[in-house]
Amino acid sequence: MGNILTDVFYILSVFAIFCALMVVFSRNPMHSVLYLILCFFAISGHYFLLNAQFLLIVNVIVYAGAIMVLFLFVIMLLNLNAETEPHKKMLVKFAAVISAGLLLIVIVASLKGATMAPSTNQIADTKGMGLVKNLGKVLFSKYILPFEISSILFLAAMVGAVMLGKKHEDQGQI
Amino acid sequence: MKDVVTQIPLDWYLYLCTLLFTIGVLGVMLRRNVIVIFMSIELMLNSVNLLFTAFSAYNGDPDGQIFVFFVMVVAAAEIAVGLSILVMIYRNIRSTDINMLNKLKW
């Protein structure tokens, strides 16, 4: 296994799993957000390995950029960066770990003997598939209706967020 | 640079994404802070995104990458609404502990 691709795959995978574990187990929510950003960068590295350049850029801009900034804003706004979270009971923690482990075992066992069916929609240029040029052609021809509907979803989400975030008269100051 | 599709078996991506998804599930069950639970949900969505991309690359089929795009759209909308709900809850009960929100529990 002296292959550089497998080495990069191992490094990125171990880094992503370590960061994901630190998101769950670090006590301070601020540290969780920072580790989650690192995990998203590791996943972006995987996108690079898979020749999905468009998704790499979108992942960095949308996830690591916009969504995580939203998280950081909320944590700073609510002043949650102290370690104030009460612990769950030991029994509940134990049950959570056991059931997550069981879920992992079940999924791995079901994937063990799986084989992939051949695709019916293969394109000729597999190498440059992840580029904006090719994905844009598919997005704006075959998936034009879901694309337009997602813009309505965004509009509804924006209106909902503004409505929810607005301060009402009978509530106190934040 | 050699192609990843010929060098790395698809199973490795399957197991990596399963592990990341399980860590997200564990975070939802283990933590009480709503923000950390949201972050665990993001982790689960990202593991599924990675698996979509892996299948898309191994199959030579661009539809999977388009789906990742739509998953990102839904995740962004969900986080915007969810965090504004969280801010409103914090204004009312001065806490982000999920065990305080038991009014709907029978």
Interface ipTM: 0.91
Euclidean distance between CA atoms A44 and A48, whole angstroms: 6
**Continuous segment of H or E residues that includes residue A7:** helix A4-25
- Per the domain annotation, does A153 fall within a domain? yes
The tokens describing A28, both together, are 């301070």
The tokens describing B96, both together, are 């982000």
Note the pLDDT tens digit of each residue in B68-83. Answer: 999 999 999 999 999 9
* pLDDT at position A173: 52
How does residue B32 score in pLDDT terms, banded at 50, 70 and 90? Answer: confident
Find the CATH number of the domain harbouring A98.
1.20.120.1200
Residue B19 has pLDDT above 90, yes or no: yes
Residue A22 touches partner B, C-beta closer than 8 Å: no
Containing structural domain, residue A45: 4-105+126-165
Contacts across the A-B interface (CB distance below 8 Å): 236
CB contact under 8 A, A63 and B42: yes
Euclidean distance between CA atoms A96 and A118, whole angstroms: 38
- Per the domain annotation, does B104 fall within a domain? no
CB interface of B with A, residues 16-35, below 8 Å = 16, 18-27, 29-33, 35
N residues, chain A: 174
H-type helices in B31-99, by residue range?
A: 34-59, 63-93
* DSSP-assigned letter for residue B103: T
Find the CATH number of the domain harbouring B66.
1.10.287.3510
Containing structural domain, residue B42: 4-97
Work out how many domains chain B is built from and give that number: 1
Work out how many domains chain A is built from and give that number: 1
The tokens describing A149, both together, are 């509907």
- Per the domain annotation, does A121 fall within a domain? no
Partners of B53 on chain A (C-beta within 8 Å) are: 46-47, 50, 52, 55
- Per the domain annotation, does A117 fall within a domain? no
Q: List, run by run, the mean pLDDT of 10-residue segments along chain A (174 residues).
A: 82 94 90 93 92 91 89 85 69 91 93 76 71 88 93 94 79 52
The tokens describing B34, both together, are 């709503």
* pLDDT at position B74: 93
- Per the domain annotation, does B82 fall within a domain? yes
Computed over its alpha carbons, how large is the radius of gyration of chain A? 21
Rounded to two decimals, what is the model's pTM?
A: 0.89
Q: What share of chain B has pLDDT > 90, as a percent?
A: 53
Note the pLDDT tens digit of each residue in A52-71. Answer: 899 999 999 988 888 899 99
* pLDDT at position A150: 94
Report the alpha-carbon angle A69-A73-A78, nearest 5.
155
- Per the domain annotation, does A170 fall within a domain? no
How far does B103 lie from chain A, in Å, by closest CA? 19
- Per the domain annotation, does B89 fall within a domain? yes
- Per the domain annotation, does B8 fall within a domain? yes
Instruction: Locate the chain B residue with the closest alpha carbon to A126.
Output: B60
CB contact under 8 A, A54 and B65: yes
